[in-house]
Structure formats: C-alpha cells, structure tokens
Amino acid sequence: MPTTNIVAHSYGTTAAAVALSTTGAHVDRFVALGSAGMPNAVDSAGKLHAEHVYVGQARNVLPDEAGQGDQLAALGRTAPGHHVDPATKVFGATTFGTDTNAADAAEQRPVLNHDPLTSDGSGYLDADTESVYHVGRVTTGHDSDATPFRPKPPTDRDRALLDRLDPLIGER
C-alpha cells in the first residue's frame, strides 16, 4: 500500500503544520528539519494529522555562527505565531540525530548549517549527512535504525553570553 510522507524544512515545517492541523489532510509520516517553529496552536505532535511525526534539529547557534550548527531555526521560532519547538520532549515527536558524528566522518556527517543544501555538504539534505540518512530511514518505516537526538550544549561563546544575561532574565 502506498504511503504519503511530507519532508519539510525551516518555515516549510510551519506551513506544513498549519495544513496538517487544520484540514482534512492526513499523511503517514511528517518529518520536520530545522524547524522555524510549529504554530502556537500546534503544541503537540498529536495535533497533526500524521501517523508519525519526526524531527531533526542540529545544534542551535547564533546567526553569526554558521558552520557550527543551525544558525537560523531558533531565530525563526521567535517570530510571532510559531514559537513551538518540535524537538522538545513535551511536543511528543520522535527525534533523531543530525549532528552526533564527527565533522570529518566519511558517512553520516553532521549538519553544521541551517540550509537544506550547502556548498560544503553540511546541510540537512546534503548527501552523506546524518540527517538525510535518517530521513530515508524514517520515511521508509525503518525508524529503529535512526540514532537518537542528543541536544548539544551551547557553544562556549553562547554559554558566556547566556551567563551574562542570567542576572537580567533570571534562571532558565
């Protein structure tokens, strides 16, 4: 029997979530990569008309840190109307690794940039990245082969900036 999958990236994940939460549409699998955020009304995977919801998210870094992780997805989640991070446990999606391997790995290289395709091969959908490998696995029903999502801590620079902000915004 044929299956219907949606693989979306960045703001495409937001647009797809609007469609999958407000229409009679139904898909077998919805994969969100580098999400710019789910609509605020879609605060759980269960609100999407999809049998399975998967999320791939590289380390969130600041916009001037491209090459160290996803420099834009977290920024997108600050825009009005779509603050929900689908990579959080509370959202309830199945998350998979996108950047657990070393940068010099021959296969399943880490995602080090927000873009789906990059000139250096470090985007979410570039060949031989951990992300594209897992998209292939989960969209064909082999999700048990996907490596788990292990969120990376902030970069040293980001940690220093956050530490300076703690007195202003309080404990996180």
Mean pLDDT score, 149-158: 84
74-81, Cβ contacts within 8 angstroms, sequence gap of 24 or more: 76/10, 76/11, 76/14, 76/35, 76/36, 76/37, 77/35, 77/36, 77/37, 79/36, 79/37, 81/39, 81/40
| Residue pLDDT, tens place only, 96-143 | 999 988 777 778 999 999 999 999 999 999 999 999 999 999 999 999
Please, which pLDDT band fits residue 168 given cuts at 50, 70 and 90?
low
Q: Which domain holds residue 89?
A: 5-169
Q: How far is the C-alpha of 13 from the C-alpha of 91, rounded, in Å?
A: 14
Digit-coded pLDDT (tens) for 39-93 = 999 999 999 999 999 999 999 998 888 899 999 999 999 899 999 999 999 999 9
Tokens at residue 41, please?
């009304």
Q: Please state the rounded mean pLDDT for residues 6-33.
A: 96
The alpha carbon of 131 is separated from its chain's Cα centroid by a whole number of angstroms, namely 9
Q: Are 44 and 36 a contacting pair, CB within 8 Å?
A: no
Structure confidence at residue 157 as a pLDDT band (50, 70, 90): confident
Please state the domain count of the chain: 1
What pLDDT does residue 100 have? 87
pLDDT higher than threshold 90 for residue 162: no
| Closest among 88, 76, 95, 60 to 13, alpha carbons compared | 76
What's the mean pLDDT in 143-168?
81
Whole-prediction pTM value? Answer: 0.91
